Structure 1
Amino acid sequence: MTDTSSSRVAPTRFRTILADPPWDHQQQGLKGAERHYRLMSLDRIKAMPVSDLAEDDAHLWLWVTNASLRDGYDVAEAWGFTPRSVLTWVKFRLGLGTYLRNSTEHLLFCTRGKAPVRFKSQPTWLNAPVQEHSRKPDEQYAVIERVSAGPYLELFARRQPPSSHDWFVWGNEVDADIQVPGYWVPSDEHNQRERR
């Protein structure tokens, strides 16, 4: 896997992976996200070769909504990780919800192998402002970098991480640094045209 957007060369495997999948909640009667981006079925998300992208000793940080919390555990396990703890983003703003008004999202912390935790005093909550639809707080990067070692990969990235650490990205709103076999993003198509 090589970098397609700059002179940096992406590693083939990463010690820490952050993912924010485009969960398809339409079967649960929840709508709205499809107006902002393409959704993926649970089976398609689980089938991603994330295990091949991770080092033997690695961390996974997986964003889930209240509606996808159970699915998140299944995805982590399908990707070869064991869920260990939940970091809850407290938004202090009422959201939508079928039963209760959602004002939280969760970041599942998962491990594989013997990857040590570098900082053991991280609480299980994060308070950060809400921005545009689906954008996760920039504060997530500082938390992840305190707890987990790099190199870092963000899957389904929407922008370059605001960090000076070794982050690489893959997503349909950024120039991807890697390719995920069987999954494409628009920048892949653009880069293939550029190479011709």
Structure 2
Amino acid sequence: MKSYKVDDKIGQLKLSIAINLIPNLPPVPCKDYRLIVADPPWDFHLRETDPSHRGRCPYPAMTDQQILDMPIGAIGGDDSYILLWTTNNHQFLAFKCLLAWGYEHKSTFTWEKVTIAGKPHMGMGHYGRNCTEQLLIGTKGNAPSMSTLGLTNVPNIIRARRQQHSKKPEEFWVLANTLGQRLENCERLGKLSQPSRIELFARQQRPNWDSWGAEVN
């Protein structure tokens, strides 16, 4: 576990989550989900313990191998989707995760982060300032395409304002909720008596979703 100075508020928050919350997490539930949303805590190494670094994440990261070893393939149904968020820096690892979990990459959506004036929101970066985040769409088995499910007019770019760290825009959740509903009502996959979607690394409970994460009640 990394060592942080006593007056390093972000570092102390990470320690608190790692010590008090993560060890008490329940196992990832196994329910043959038809839709999985995941936003893993990708590991950033640069200046991790430097309190002056404004780009640090406020929660503990997982190692690359820990993320790859997650039992995602076991909780996804035979014919299912995954929506996997990744930073630009971690795209290669994210594609490896899809393969390790048994999913085939189908499309990449880009979240263009904008200011209130509609201009690109400049983030960090040594090879260009990051203004985007990527969403990988993956499927397993014979999951029907989005167009087969009636989602025929969905652009693969989301233009929305950046919010608090790691919080995804509501435009994404409109898509995820619609896709989840269509998968649950797909006659080809059989009817369900309850929702079959889960958000991993969640920070709040969402209606009609199972939620798993260190910060969700």
TM-score, length basis structure 2: 0.69
1:144 aligned counterpart, secondary structure: helix
- C-alpha displacement of 1:22: 0.2
Matching of residues 1-196 of structure 1 within 5 Å: 12-26=31-45, 29=46, 31=48, 35-92=57-114, 93-116=121-144, 117=146, 118=149, 119-148=151-180, 149-150=183-184, 151-161=196-206, 164=207, 166-175=208-217
TM-score, length basis structure 1: 0.76
* Residue type at the aligned position of 2:39: D
The structure having more radius of gyration, on CA atoms, is 2
> 2:123 touches 2:130 (CA, 8 Å); kept in 1?
yes
> 1:81 touches 1:112 (CA, 8 Å); kept in 2?
yes
Match of 1:4 in 2: none
- Map Cα deviations across residues 158-179 of structure 1 (whole Å, 9 max, x no partner): 1123xx5x2110001102xxxx
Structure 2 spans left out of the alignment, 5+ residues: 1-28, 115-120, 185-195
- Map Cα deviations across residues 119-153 of structure 1 (whole Å, 9 max, x no partner): 13211101111111111112212112333424210
The share of aligned pairs that are identical, in percent, is 36
- C-alpha displacement of 1:53: 0.6
The count of residues paired between Structure 1 and Structure 2 equals 161
> 1:25 touches 1:67 (CA, 8 Å); kept in 2?
no
CA change 1:86–1:30 in 2 (3 A) is farther
Structure 1 spans left out of the alignment, 5+ residues: 1-9, 176-196
* Residue type at the aligned position of 2:131: S
Cα RMSD of the aligned pairs, angstroms, is: 1.8
Match of 1:6 in 2: none
